[in-house]
Each structure stands twice: as structure tokens, then as C-alpha cells.
Amino acid sequence: MSPRTRKLLLAFAALGLAASLASTYVHYRLVTDASYSSVCDISTTVSCTQAYLSRYGTFWGVPVALGGVFYFVLVMLLSTFGGKPSSPSRENMPGYIFALSTVALAFVLYLAWASFFQLKTVCVLCVATYVAVIAIFIISGGATRFPMTTLPRRALRDAGTLAKSPAALLITVLFVGAAAVMVSMFPGDAESATEAVAAPQYPPLTDTQRAAFEKWWDLQPKVDVPIDPEGAKVVIVKFNDFQCPPCRLTYNEYKAIIAKYTATGQVKYFLKHFPLDPECNPSGGQHQAACEAAAAHVMARSKGTMDKLEAWLFANQPTLTPEVVRQGAAQVGGISDFDARYQDALTQVKVDIGLGSRLGVRSTPTFYINGRTPGIVTGQAFEAAIELELKRSR
């Protein structure tokens, strides 16, 4: 391996590693924080989120971004240590990298096909890794001076040499160990984004604050919300629009609180759709993908992916369009027949809209806790209202 070849391999491996690490970070945040918005989500057609949360974002449960990290680190190790003038395996290194790059190239071509033609989106970070893999493939292939049929024999000989080197063994063990740790620490799939998280720890209300809150709560108008409580003591109803920023804010703020109390069976939570989209809501509005988002959520119920899709819709709120919703419904919600089911789902959405209209809902989110509307309040106040209603129902 010539010094020039070695420098070029290291340069492109560094480029690919930087892009893969960034991709890994973005993917991790997307599947662990539903409120996270990636900086590489530039438009509906230039979006990392679409790629990472699709079925093409993982391979055998391992995020493809992590696979890129491992590949580029391995190329850097082979180029750095195996490419030294003093290395007895120096002549063989381009062949090893070329063999690895052949597999990597096949993989990135598949991912590029999936991104451009199946998802119809461009992932900027992914493209950077494609460029790096292609460059490494060409450079290493051009630097290989022996028939590839002799590679297995050369590899066996170099493996014997490697086994006699404590430093090489240590590097191998560290590489394998680090790879195993990264895989084990990374969430398995996008469902992790909907797992219950620990409830926020708010400071307890003082007696004075609690008394003031009870007085304020009793002044809030109370209406009869015709929903079966199913034996629960407290019923929480949210009228929601997936393109409404405060709906996303309250989703993130209240999610853990709602999970905490519904787990006891004494509290029931119902999400009702009130998309501010004239396509399905006579009240009008400017949210041109809200009806599609609400319908997708309804369809996901029968697939068992409703919670996962809800998290995805809020996470991708800034870039939602009718087409993006359809893509998300297919990739995240497993809904392959969106158009065929759309009108039936929209009928169910309109039932929710009708209920909201009868109750006087004019904006989203509108919450009802045992018939009273708290407005958009802090998580602490929201939890205090639930606690108060539970205490009064005893």
C-alpha cells in the first residue's frame, strides 16, 4: 500500500465515520425522544428521519448507522496499522479492504435504492457514507496487486501472525468489545420511542398552593362528556390535531403523567381527533395534512401500532404533508392500504369532530378531566387536577 493510497483511504474513512457517528446520534435521539427534530430534516424530500425510522433503518435489529461506524473504524485500523511500511501484511491490506468494501458497496446500493425509489427521500448523512464507501471501494480495488482468489490463503497466514502479536490481539478485543457494547446500548427499533418514560418529578404543592389550585379548579366550567368511563374514577379526554404545536407540547409534557395514572386502572385516557383541516372539519383551519394524520392514527389501531405512529407523527410534525403521512403510515404503522381505508377512517374521525363541536371545542388541544377543561397548563398542574379528582371520587 503506497503512502498516497493510505492517506486517501484514511481520509474517506474519516469522512464516512463522521457521517456514521452523526447518523447514529440522530437515529438514537429519534427512537428515544419523540420530541426530537433532526437538523438534517430539511424538507419532505430531504429527511434523515424518514430513512432512520423506516424498515430500512435497521438490519437484523442493528441500526445501519452503527454498521457504518464499525466498517469505517475497521478500514481505518487496517489502513493505519496494516498499511505501515514495517507491516508484513502491508501488501495484503488493500485486498482486505477491497473485500470489505465489496460487501459494503452492495449494502449501500441497496440502501440508496430503498431511500431514493421506495421512500422517495434523500438522507444527507446517508449520502455522505455512500460517497465514502464508493471511494474506498475504488481506491482499494485499484491498489490491490494480487488475484483475489489468493485472498483466503493470505488471510490465514496473516491471522497466524496476528495471533502472535499482543498489541494486535488487544486492538481486536477492544474493537469487538466496543461494537458489542454499542449494539447492546442502542434501542432495538422505533418502538422504543413509545416506551413509557419515568414521570417528571415536580416539587410537591404546598398546602397554600393546593388550596389555591382547588379554588381555581372549581371555577372551571364543567360539561357532561358522553364517554363511557369503563369503571374508571377519572376520565381524561384530549381533542387533538397532529399538526398543532401545542398538541405536540402537551403530548411530551403529559405523556409520562398519563402513563403513570392509567396504569392503576383508576384513570382512563381517550384521544379524540379534531383536525383543523377543512377537508374533514367544517370548522376549517390551515393544517393541510391533519385529516390524513388523524385517519392514519385510526387505521393504526387495528394494526396495534397506534402508539408508535402517534409518536412518529408528533416527532415529524414540522414536515408533515399528506404524502409524508402516507409514507409514515406504511413504514411505521404497517398500513399498506391507506387509500383504500381512508374514507372509512375519516368517517370515524368525523364522529370525534362532531363530539368536539357539540362540546364547544374550537381549538386544540382541548382537554377534559372529568368534564372540566384545564387549558394548557404545566405538567405539575395537570397532575394536580388528576390527583384532586381521584381524591374527590373516593
Per-residue pLDDT of 301-319, as tens digits, reads 999 999 999 999 998 888 8
Instruction: Let me know if residue 202 belongs to a domain.
Output: no
Q: For residue 32, what pLDDT is reported?
A: 66
How far apart CA 6 and CA 228 sit, in angstroms, is: 70
161 and 12 within one domain? yes
Mean pLDDT of 25-54: 73
Among 195-199, 288-292, 318-322, name the most confident range: 288-292
Outline where DSSP puts E strands in 16-133. Answer: 58-59, 62-63
Instruction: Let me know if residue 121 belongs to a domain.
Output: yes
Give the residue from 173, 194, 215 where a domain finishes: 194
349 and 227 within one domain? yes
Mean pLDDT of 44-64: 75
- The confidence band for 191, taking pLDDT boundaries of 50, 70 and 90, is very low
* Residue 64 CB neighbour total at 10 angstroms: 22
Residue 163, pLDDT above cutoff 70: yes
| % pLDDT > 90, the chain | 57
- The confidence band for 379, taking pLDDT boundaries of 50, 70 and 90, is confident
367 and 228 within one domain? yes
Residue 34, pLDDT above cutoff 70: no
Q: For residue 51, what pLDDT is reported?
A: 78
- What are the residues facing 269 on neighbouring strands? 236
Instruction: Let me know if residue 18 belongs to a domain.
Output: yes
Give the list of residues 6+ apart from residue 266 with CB closer than 8 angstroms, or none.
232, 233, 234, 390
The whole model's pTM is what?
0.55
Instruction: Let me know if residue 201 belongs to a domain.
Output: no
Per-residue pLDDT of 365-376, as tens digits, reads 999 999 999 987
76 and 39 within one domain? yes
Q: For residue 81, what pLDDT is reported?
A: 79
Residue 41, pLDDT above cutoff 80: no
Residue 190, pLDDT above cutoff 50: no
How far apart CA 380 and CA 242 sit, in angstroms, is: 23
289 and 211 within one domain? yes
Instruction: Let me know if residue 156 belongs to a domain.
Output: yes
Give the residue from 171, 194, 217 where a domain finishes: 194
Per-residue pLDDT of 224-250, as tens digits, reads 999 999 999 999 999 999 999 889 989
In the 8-state DSSP scheme, what is residue 317? G
90 and 40 within one domain? yes
Give the residue from 151, 171, 194 where a domain finishes: 194
For the chain, helix (H) and strand (E) counts, in that order, are 14, 5
Give the list of residues 6+ apart from residue 177 with CB closer than 8 angstroms, or none.
none
Residue 88, pLDDT above cutoff 90: no
Q: For residue 193, what pLDDT is reported?
A: 40
Find where cell 385516557 sits. 269
Mean pLDDT of 254-278: 95
Helix/strand/coil (H/E/C) assignment for every residue in 102-141: HHHHHHHHHHHHHHHHHHCCECHHHHHHHHHHHHHHHHHH
Residue 197, pLDDT above cutoff 50: no
Domain of residue 319, CATH code: 3.40.30.10
How far apart CA 265 and CA 234 sit, in angstroms, is: 10
Residue 275: which domain range? 207-392
**Integer angstrom CA distances of residue 135 from 16, 95, 114, 128, 131:** 10, 15, 21, 11, 6
214 and 182 within one domain? no
Ranges 9-18, 115-124, 141-150, 237-246: which has the least confidence: 115-124
Q: For residue 84, what pLDDT is reported?
A: 64
Residue 195, pLDDT above cutoff 50: no
**Mean pLDDT (the chain, rounded):** 87
Domain of residue 62, CATH code: 1.20.1440.130
242 and 376 within one domain? yes
220 and 73 within one domain? no
212 and 183 within one domain? no
Instruction: Let me know if residue 164 belongs to a domain.
Output: yes
Mean pLDDT of 281-297: 93
Residue 256, pLDDT above cutoff 60: yes
The reply to whether omega before 187 is within 30° of 0 (cis) is: no
185 and 144 within one domain? yes
76 and 46 within one domain? yes
**Phi then psi dihedrals of residue 17, to 5 deg:** -65, -45
The total number of structural domains in the chain stands at 2
